Amino acid sequence: MLASLNRATKQYGRTEGVRDLTVEFPPGEVVGVLGLNGSGKSTVLKLLAGLLFPTSGDVAVFDGPARAQRGRVVYLGETDALWSWMTPDDAATFMAGLYDDFDVKRYRELLASLAVPRRRTKAMSKGERGRLRLAMALARDAKLYLLDEPLGGIDLLSREKILQSIVREWHTDETILLSTHEVAEAEGLFERVIYLREGRIALDATAETLREHGKSVVQTYREVLG
Amino acid sequence: MTIERTWPIDMNAGPIFVQIANHVRQMLARGEIVPGDKLPSARDLAAGLGVNPNTVVHAFAQLERTSVIETRRGLGTFVRGDAPVAAMRRDMLRTAAAAFAVEAAALGVSTPEALAALKEALNAG
């Protein structure tokens, strides 16, 4: 397994992020992590990213504790923490200094295909910043990508560009976990979908199998989580 | 071969790989592509349609198994010279006819009536 949670629970004070969650991710899967707000999507990704530590249970990545693998996992968080003075060139210097696996050539190609302007981030639209952040994340050469809401709150054309870049950049031995509320737009990309409800798995299924039974990922979302 | 989002992928209409394979067959049956034509790469097609590349690979594998396309090493994927185009055209015509028959039956019209309507539509088209 590339990554797994084994009976993992994460409590924040009284509220639980995830509860007794067991799930495995083999290499080479594009997984949709779906659920309503507060269902535990971000917690799952943060646990795998090693940014959170489970209250109980284990979280393993590349056969080691997730915490020890932080430098080898790509995590794109929900919050836009880009410095306002940064240009895409500055971001490249920053990322290359931080991560050995940052591929500058790939980054340049991504900036072009995502049509990221070369100005400072403070002069960019939300969609442009979202595209820049995705380029920064996908330009790293890793085996596990954790993308938390990369489509959140940005315009339709940016969302399409982002989905296309993910399709183009994904290598068959890499696993991508993508959480999103834009289920209809992203569902074609997912091979597997995990529906979370109150920190537990409500359904874990192959997208094409759902469709074989005449139900889209969106329709299943309504039935499982509605 | 165009790979715009005009390809009708319907998430509620069964597996995507079946829809992609059927669309290639339909393009062949309609003469929009012909034997010998090169198909886009799985990745280009996947990016164009916004679907997982594995889904396109799955569709191509099915088309390869049914002797519609072939992969030439290092060159890409092509419609086979002996692709069964006539058979595909016949199958699609039958499918369309069956759908018409179901609708006619649902409307409760007689066979001569249905045939007359069909003839009229064919002449109009």
Nearest chain A residue (CA) to B48: A164
Dihedral class, residue A115 (left if φ above 0, else alpha if ψ from -120 to 50, else beta):
left
The pLDDT confidence band at residue B3, using thresholds 50, 70 and 90, is low
Domain count, chain B: 2
- Determine contact, residues A52/A74, Cβ cutoff 8 Å: no
Verify whether the Cβ–Cβ distance A208 to B55 is below 8 Å.
yes
> How far is Cα B61 from Cα A22, in angstroms, rounded to an integer?
33
If asked whether residues B102 and B61 sit together in one domain, one would say: no
Looking up residue A214, the CATH number of its domain turns out to be 3.40.50.300
- Determine contact, residues A177/A145, Cβ cutoff 8 Å: yes
If asked whether residues B74 and B89 sit together in one domain, one would say: no
Domain span including residue A10: 3-225
Q: To the nearest whole angstrom, how far is the Cα of A217 from the nearest Cα of chain B?
A: 8
Least trusted range by pLDDT, from A34-38, A150-154, A205-209, B14-18: A150-154
Half-sphere exposure of B70 (CA within 13 A, CB side): 10
If asked whether residues B36 and B75 sit together in one domain, one would say: yes
If asked whether residues B22 and B73 sit together in one domain, one would say: yes
In this structure, is residue B3 part of a structural domain?
Answer: no
In this structure, is residue B10 part of a structural domain?
Answer: no
Q: Which pLDDT belongs to residue A82?
A: 84
> How far is Cα A217 from Cα A200, in angstroms, rounded to an integer?
18
If asked whether residues B93 and B74 sit together in one domain, one would say: no
Residue A209: CB atoms within 10 Å: 12
If asked whether residues B57 and B95 sit together in one domain, one would say: no
> How far is Cα A194 from Cα A35, in angstroms, rounded to an integer?
8
Residue A161 structure tokens:
């560009």
> How far is Cα A190 from Cα A184, in angstroms, rounded to an integer?
11
Domain count, chain A: 1
Domain span including residue B66: 16-79
| Residue B2: pLDDT over 60 | no
Angle between helices B85-107 and B16-29 (to 10 degrees): 110
In this structure, is residue B4 part of a structural domain?
Answer: no
3 state SS for B70-109: EEECCCEEEECCCCCHHHHHHHHHHHHHHHHHHHHHHHCC
pLDDT tens by residue, B44-79: 999 989 999 999 999 999 999 999 999 999 999 999
Q: Which pLDDT belongs to residue B73?
A: 92
In this structure, is residue B120 part of a structural domain?
Answer: yes
Q: Which pLDDT belongs to residue B7?
A: 76
Looking up residue B28, the CATH number of its domain turns out to be 1.10.10.10
- Residue A4 sits at φ, ψ, to 5 deg, of -160, 155
Q: Is A163 on the interface with B (CB under 8 A)?
A: yes
DSSP readout, A65-118? EGGGGGGGEEEE-SS----TT--HHHHHHHHHHH-TTB-HHHHHHHHHHTT--S
Nearest chain B residue (CA) to A172: B54
> How far is Cα B97 from Cα B92, in angstroms, rounded to an integer?
8
Verify whether the Cβ–Cβ distance A188 to B52 is below 8 Å.
yes
Q: How many CB pairs under 8 A join A and B?
A: 57
In this structure, is residue B40 part of a structural domain?
Answer: yes
If asked whether residues B65 and B102 sit together in one domain, one would say: no
Q: What is the ipTM of this complex?
A: 0.87
In this structure, is residue B2 part of a structural domain?
Answer: no
If asked whether residues B61 and B75 sit together in one domain, one would say: yes
